[in-house]
Amino acid sequence: MSEDFLFAWKERIADYQRQVREGKTAIEQPTLFDLPQTTWHTADEIDPFSLPHHPSDFYRRPDIEPPDDSNQGCLYFDHVSKIVLYVGETKLSARRRWLGSHDCKDYVLNYIELHRRYDLDVAVNASFWYHVPPTKKILQQWERELIFKWRPPFNKEMWEFYGQPFGKL
């Protein structure tokens, strides 16, 4: 991938997500099933850019411990470019989920490597939303709503919009 292509790819994502933050997009989210009303937060109540940042390799760092071991939503960002790269959920603790095999780890490493190749600033961080629903069905719907709202490029649901340029370099 050329430096120009990388810049244009990121700019397209940043433009869309900026419009979402500013409320300038009409987001249509497909619903696979109707969910019961809950007391949990909706995707519209979550501002991913206001969440605390953690290093992208948080799962290897014992000094970064989530407040509890319950299910969690994990978001990856490039804070330099101000884009959400990935949205994920897990019933495991985030550390246990990410210590295992996960394609997104490769995408993040390839993304960082490409920026370093072109001597570009990059700051990929993870953020967590700890107030996730306790039931798997609602948790997966919450994840899906966030994916379709923000269109993070590392989620497979968004490859039709952005391709999959970081699968292999």
H-helix or E-strand spanning residue 74: strand 72-78
pLDDT tens by residue, 43-78: 787 888 888 887 777 777 777 665 555 545 566 677
- Break the chain into its structural domains and give their ranges: 3-25+42-59+70-161
Q: Which residue, 88, 59, 91, is CA-closest to 75?
A: 88
pLDDT tens by residue, 132-169: 666 778 778 888 888 999 999 999 999 999 998 887 55
What DSSP letter does each residue of 124-148 carry, written as one string? Answer: EEEEEE----SSHHHHHHHHHHHHH
Instruction: Output the pTM of the full model.
Output: 0.79
For the beta sheet containing 72-78, the strands, ordered from the edge strand earlier in sequence to the opposite edge, are: 54-55, 124-129, 72-78, 83-90
Is the per-residue pLDDT at 25 higher than 60? yes
